[in-house]
């Protein structure tokens, strides 16, 4: 029986990776305006749209590679062998961005330097999705399997809020010196990113020494029988399992729903400074005042909608089920974005307070629903031998949506306005809801049920999630490639 202390230690160690994801994802949106003031000499001292999109999108490009690579390696070589390496990459990439040369760098060189090392950071952050997702589903649960997986994942919201708070503190600390010379904003953005490395460094050793999960040992590794597992065996397992349409259909649905959701989610969250400016909140008489109002606006939206959404979402899968949670929340966001688009059109005069309210409500529903379930479902619905790869593929598809919206948001918003973009996002959320209907429900199912394909049978009538920790014998359909 796993002790309470061990369970809490796991939640902390696994959650740090997502804390870094949330922190570094939001931080770059706060850093880009400062880079414009310091390095880009044009009429408005802003980073051009294309350069801004590249800087913001490169983290997601790295995440795609990390999710696919580490998801595959985690299934092939084991969670213990791989876990912790991703945190080293995250720390190194972030440190190199912070060490951007202070002088004699052209705007093009600044964009290139930051973008390259954001890719490295993204590689590490992306790798954490399939690794921590699989570990959270397979470790002895704290409460229930769903609660454990989502408690770990909710640290991404905490990281977002922390980035905004740190940014506010740094701006206030350097207010006097920035008033003397805006060059002192160098310290603000470098410290903002650099401080995000500290939590990761504190938990690195614990990750590197974490034990292998019992389900992986029982269902996959066969180490007791003398079987050696590698990439060849992993690809064979993957091919055999997904040769059945009922399995391939679910992988398509988890990947497609995450892809569509991230188009809308990152379209808003990577560009919160733009959105806040458009609704009239992030405008100041000086550059410092503009940055400060942007940070305050971010924090208001996060505390009112973003972070509470995560914590409410933790408890819903065991109550209403994963599929219902994702389906109905996506429909709700579809309606909210349509309303937001209507009241944001040029001919309509809506107060800033009113726009901030619908912004916060939409963020709350996004996080209660699909932001939780798109991560949870791939960690549960696939068996242990392909869980990491399937979660990695689904997450990578999501980041493809993030890359698409990161590179296209600025150009599309310039062409059709914020109201037009919100109308597009409304349609995207409707498609997300429809794709969700292809996914089987895992509420009330154990890991053994998932291994034996029982989730494709008639749904359980009783409520409540099982512990997910039971590990017993496996039938022929769940043998590894070594046994087939």
461-484 pLDDT, tens digit each: 544 444 444 343 444 334 433 333
| pLDDT at res. 458 | 62
Domains of the chain: 13-214+228-478 (1.20.1250.20)
More confident residue, 338 or 282: 338
Mean pLDDT confidence for 38-47: 78
| pLDDT at res. 413 | 75
| pLDDT at res. 271 | 60
| pLDDT at res. 47 | 84
| pLDDT at res. 471 | 40
| pLDDT at res. 470 | 39
Confidence of residue 273 (pLDDT cuts 50, 70, 90): low
More confident residue, 4 or 245: 245
Which of 52-56, 84-88, 137-141, 147-151 shows the lowest mean pLDDT across its residues? 52-56
Q: Would the pLDDT of 347 be above 80?
A: no
Mean pLDDT confidence for 369-390: 95
Confidence of residue 85 (pLDDT cuts 50, 70, 90): very high
Mean pLDDT confidence for 239-255: 96
| pLDDT at res. 376 | 96
More confident residue, 480 or 373: 373
More confident residue, 31 or 465: 31
More confident residue, 401 or 468: 401
Confidence of residue 150 (pLDDT cuts 50, 70, 90): very high
Note the pLDDT tens digit of each residue in 5-24: 888 888 999 998 889 888 88
Mean pLDDT confidence for 265-280: 65
Mean pLDDT confidence for 427-433: 96
Which of 81-95, 138-152, 352-366 shows the lowest mean pLDDT across its residues? 352-366
The 3-state secondary structure of the chain, one letter per residue: CCCHHHHHHHHHHHHHHHHHHHHHHHHHHHHHHHHHHHHCCCCCCCCCHHHHHHHHHHHHHHHHHHHHHHHHHHHHHCHHHHCCHHHHHHHHHHHHHHCCCCCCCCHHHHHHHHHHHHHHHHHHHHHHHHHHHHHHHHCCCCCCHHHHHHHHHCHHHHHHHHHHHHHHHHHHHCHHHHHHCHHHHHHHHHHHHHCCHHHHHHHHHHHHCCCCCHHHHHHHHCHHHCCCCCHHHHHHHHHHHHCCHHHHHHHHHHHHHHHHHHHHHHHHHCCHHHHHHHCCCCCCCCHHHHHHHHHHHHHHHHHHHHHHHHHHHCCCHHHHCHHHHHHHHHHHHHHHHHHHHHHHCCCCCCCHHHHHHHHHHHHHHHHHCHHHHHHHHHHHHCCHHHHHHHHHHHHHHHHHHHHHHHHHHHHHHHHHHHHHHHHHHHHHHHHHHHHHCCCCCCCCCCHHHHHCCHHHCCCCCCCCCCCCCCCCCCCHHHCCCCCC
More confident residue, 357 or 197: 197
| pLDDT at res. 481 | 35
Note the pLDDT tens digit of each residue in 161-185: 899 899 999 999 998 888 888 888 8
Average pLDDT of the chain?
85
Q: Would the pLDDT of 149 be above 80?
A: yes
Mean pLDDT confidence for 124-133: 93
| pLDDT at res. 298 | 72
Q: Would the pLDDT of 414 be above 90?
A: no
Mean pLDDT confidence for 433-450: 94
* pTM above threshold 0.75: yes
């Amino acid at each position: 029986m796993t002790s309470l202390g061990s369970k809490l230690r796991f939640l902390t160690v696994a959650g740090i990776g997502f804390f870094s994801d949330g922190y570094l994802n939001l931080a770059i949106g706060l850093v880009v305006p400062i880079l414009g003031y310091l390095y880009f000499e044009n009429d408005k001292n802003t980073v051009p749209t294309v350069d801004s999109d590249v800087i913001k999108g490169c983290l997601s490009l790295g995440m795609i590679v990390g999710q696919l690579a580490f998801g595959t390696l985690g299934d092939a070589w084991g969670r213990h062998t791989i876990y912790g390496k991703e945190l080293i990459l995250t720390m190194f990439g972030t440190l190199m961005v912070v060490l951007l040369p202070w002088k004699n760098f052209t705007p093009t060189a600044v964009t290139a330097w930051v973008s390259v090392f954001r890719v490295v950071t993204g590689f590490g952050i992306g790798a954490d999705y399939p690794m921590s997702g699989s570990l959270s589903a397979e470790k002895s649960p704290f409460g229930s399997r769903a609660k454990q997986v989502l408690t770990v994942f909710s640290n991404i919201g905490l990281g977002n809020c922390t980035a905004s708070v740190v940014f506010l503190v740094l701006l206030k600390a350097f207010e006097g010196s920035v008033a003397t010379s805006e060059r002192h904003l160098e310290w603000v953005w470098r410290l903002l990113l650099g401080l995000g490395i500290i939590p990761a460094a504190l938990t690195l050793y614990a990750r590197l020494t974490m034990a292998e999960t019992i389900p992986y040992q029982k269902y996959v590794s066969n180490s007791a029988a003398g079987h050696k597992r590698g990439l060849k065996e992993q690809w064979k397992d993957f091919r055999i399992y997904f040769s059945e349409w009922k399995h391939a259909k679910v992988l398509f649905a988890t990947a497609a729903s995450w892809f569509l959701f991230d188009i809308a989610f990152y379209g808003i969250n990577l560009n919160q400074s733009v959105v806040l400016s458009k609704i009239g909140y992030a405008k100041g008489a000086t550059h410092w005042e503009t940055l400060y109002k942007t940070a305050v606006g971010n924090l208001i939206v996060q505390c009112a909608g973003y972070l509470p959404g995560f914590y409410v979402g933790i408890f819903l899968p065991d109550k209403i089920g994963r599929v219902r949670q994702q389906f109905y929340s996506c429909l709700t966001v579809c309606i909210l974005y349509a309303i937001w688009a209507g009241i944001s059109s040029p001919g309509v005069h809506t107060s800033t307070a009113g726009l901030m309210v619908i912004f916060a409500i939409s963020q709350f529903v996004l996080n209660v629903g699909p932001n939780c379930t798109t991560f949870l479902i791939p960690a549960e619905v696939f068996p242990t031998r392909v869980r990491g790869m399937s979660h990695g593929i689904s997450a990578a598809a999501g980041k493809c949506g993030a890359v698409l919206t990161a590179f296209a948001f600025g150009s599309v918003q310039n062409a059709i306005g914020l109201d037009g973009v919100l109308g597009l996002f409304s349609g995207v959320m409707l498609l997300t809801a429809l794709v969700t209907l292809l996914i089987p429900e895992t509420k009330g199912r154990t890991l053994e049920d998932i291994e034996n394909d029982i989730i494709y049978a008639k749904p359980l009538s009783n409520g409540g999630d099982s512990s997910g920790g039971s590990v017993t014998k496996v039938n022929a359909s769940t043998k590894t490639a070594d046994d087939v």
